[in-house]
Structure 1
Amino acid sequence: MKAVYVDDAYTVVVKEVDKPEIQDNEVLIKVRAAGICGSDIHTYKGLHPFRKPPVIIGHEIAGEVVEVGPGVTKFKTGDRVTVEPQTGCGHCEYCLTGNVNYCSDRGAPGIGSWYGAMAEYFAAPEQTVFKLPDDMDYDRGVLVEPFAVGVHAVRKAGIQVGDKVAVLGAGPIGLLAMAAAKAAGATTTLVTDVMDYALEAASHMGASHTMNIMNRPEWTEEAKAAIGGDFDKVLIAAGVPGIIDQSLKLLRKGGRIVTIAMFHGTQTFDIHNLQNQEKEIIGCMTYTREDTITAIDMIQAGAVREEVLITHRLTAEQAAEGFRLVDKKEDSSLKVLVLFD
């Protein structure tokens, strides 16, 4: 089968590899669409903390079940599905309480023996697989995983009806987090970025305010002036230097920051602005099964405008171009899909 490899830093190739042989509790999925994620770009750059080249890349997937193991009871051939691409040990306190994302033995595609999803076929344990609604196409199905990230972040933030929310970063995850915040009841959503086309997409997806912060050192004050006060919650979807301190400046007393982005290096911030005003900074790691179910339901209900978010549909042979587009933010790229016949 064809598989898209990050063979080395900044090197994407298509290779022929053996189709996965499924275990008793696994399903084999004919991949129809796979998305390029921001964390895939970290692997592409050689910066990901645990997914290292050479590796079959990808974990955002939608496709059709073509084979099931003898122990599988919930799926059959022909089912249209997506995958929550993480597993746990199954017996630690975190797995037993539904927090597989906390498990010390958490597994994910592209790590160890689990192939990545950007290939013609993908094997996944039954418990990670979810049926798609009959009228949800594969393009929308592939958005379930990244939208679950936004759903989880909004849940961690405790966003409620009437909240004023800033989303820092208008890449796909930031845009999906903003959509999840709106669905949770946020009435004011300000999205920041340095790319005008991404901010235009944020407006089309329902942001009440947008701001290009390039060369605007006082942008935090300008952002608060734009909404007439401080923000209740801040969602960080861009792991750039100084962004924690900037977020604290946006936040009201007792407000909450959730970090979604993947960070490299050290972040510094004014501890007094955190402690003296009882503000909170909360980490956010992937999602739970509950978040994935919610993401499917919310996409089905129209919470995501996929026609705005999905900007490119490429073949496997064009995957290298897709990674370059996402990395360099070329051709107004947001969510780039790799499609398989």
Structure 2
Amino acid sequence: MKAVYVEDSYSVVVKDIEKPEIKPDEVLIKVKVAGICGSDIHTYKGLHPFRKPPVIIGHEVAGEIVQVGEAVTKFKVGDRVTVEPQVGCGKCEYCLRGEVNYCADRKAPGVGGWYGTMAEYFAAPEVTVFKLPDDMSYEQGVLVEPFAVGVHAVRKAGIQVGDKVAVLGAGPIGLLAMAAAKAAGATTILVTDVMDYALESAGRMGATHTLNITNKQEWMDEAKALVGGEFDKVLIAAGVPNIIDQSLRLLRRGGRMVTIAMFHGNQTFDIHNLQNQEKEIVGCMTYTREDTITAIDLLGAGAVNEEVLVTHKLPYEQAAEGFRLVDKKEDSSLKVLVTF
């Protein structure tokens, strides 16, 4: 089969490899669509903490089951599915509580012997597989995983009806987090970025306010003026220097920020602004099964305008171009999909 490799930093190639053989508890999925995620770009740049080149890249997927293992009971050949791409040990206290994302032995595609999703076929344990609604396209189905990230972040933030929310970063994850915040009841949502086209897309997807922060040192005051006060919650979807301290300046007393982005290097902030005003900084790691189910339901209900979010669909032979588009933000790219 054909598979897309990040061969080395900034090097994407297509290779011929053996089709994976499934275990008794696995299904084999004929991949229709795979997505390029921001974390895939970290691998592409050689910066990812655990997914290192050379690797079959990808963890977002939608496709059709073509083979089931003998122990599989919930799926059959022909089912249209997506995957929650993480598996825990199943025995630790976190797994037993349904918190697979906390498991110290959590496995993910592109790590160890588990191939990534950007290939003609992808093997996945039955416990990670979810059926797509009959009226959901593969292009929508491949958004389940990144949307689950946004759903989980909104849960961690405790966003509720009437909240004022700032989303920092208008890449695909930021836009999906924004959509999840809107679905949770946030009535005022400001999105920041340095790209006007991304902010325009945020507006089309439901942001009430947008702000280009290019070359603005005191953009936090402008952001608060736009919405008439401080924010209840801040979702950080851009891992840039000083963003923790800037987020603290956006928050009301007792407000909460959630870090979604991958960070490189240290962040510094004013501890007095955190402690004296009882603000909170909350970490966020992937999602739970509950988040994935909610993401499917919300996508089916039209919570995400995928026609705005998905800007490019390329055949797998052009995967290298797709990675370049996302990395360089060329051609007004947001979500780039690779098709098989």
Q: Does 1:210 align with 2:188?
A: no
Structure 1 runs not aligned, ≥5 long: none
- Give the drift of 1:287: 0.1
- Give the drift of 1:119: 0.2
Equivalent position of 1:99 in the other structure: 99
Counterpart residue identity of residue 89, structure 2 = C
TM-score, with structure 1 as normaliser: 1.00
For residues 288-331 of structure 1, what are the alpha-carbon distances to aligned partners after superposition, in whole Å with 9 as ceiling and x for unaligned?
00000000000000000000000000011100000000000000
User: For residues 329 and 297 of structure 2, what CA distance do their matches in structure 1 show?
Assistant: 30
Q: Does 1:47 align with 2:47?
A: yes
Equivalent position of 1:142 in the other structure: 142
For residues 157-215 of structure 1, what are the alpha-carbon distances to aligned partners after superposition, in whole Å with 9 as ceiling and x for unaligned?
00000000000000000000000000000000000000000000000000000000001
Counterpart residue identity of residue 285, structure 1 = M
User: For residues 57 and 272 of structure 1, what CA distance do their matches in structure 2 show?
Assistant: 42
User: For residues 18 and 333 of structure 1, what CA distance do their matches in structure 2 show?
Assistant: 32
How many residues of Structure 1 are paired with residues of Structure 2 in the alignment?
A: 340
User: For residues 293 and 329 of structure 1, what CA distance do their matches in structure 2 show?
Assistant: 31
What RMSD over aligned residues (CA atoms) do the two structures have, in Å?
A: 0.2
Matches within 5 A, 1:1-341: 1-340=1-340
3-state SS, counterpart of residue 330 of structure 2: coil
3-state SS, counterpart of residue 155 of structure 2: helix
For residues 254-298 of structure 1, what are the alpha-carbon distances to aligned partners after superposition, in whole Å with 9 as ceiling and x for unaligned?
000000000000000000000000000000000000000000000
For residues 26-82 of structure 1, what are the alpha-carbon distances to aligned partners after superposition, in whole Å with 9 as ceiling and x for unaligned?
000000000000000000000000000000000000000000000000000000000
User: For residues 126 and 160 of structure 2, what CA distance do their matches in structure 1 show?
Assistant: 34
User: For residues 325 and 272 of structure 1, what CA distance do their matches in structure 2 show?
Assistant: 41
- Give the drift of 1:245: 0.3
Counterpart residue identity of residue 177, structure 1 = A
- Give the drift of 1:218: 1.0
Counterpart residue identity of residue 34, structure 2 = A
User: For residues 47 and 94 of structure 2, what CA distance do their matches in structure 1 show?
Assistant: 27
User: For residues 92 and 80 of structure 1, what CA distance do their matches in structure 2 show?
Assistant: 31
Percentage identity across aligned positions?
83
User: For residues 218 and 280 of structure 1, what CA distance do their matches in structure 2 show?
Assistant: 22
User: For residues 61 and 11 of structure 1, what CA distance do their matches in structure 2 show?
Assistant: 22
Structure 2 runs not aligned, ≥5 long: none
Counterpart residue identity of residue 302, structure 2 = G
Counterpart residue identity of residue 258, structure 1 = V
3-state SS, counterpart of residue 331 of structure 1: helix
User: For residues 273 and 168 of structure 2, what CA distance do their matches in structure 1 show?
Assistant: 19
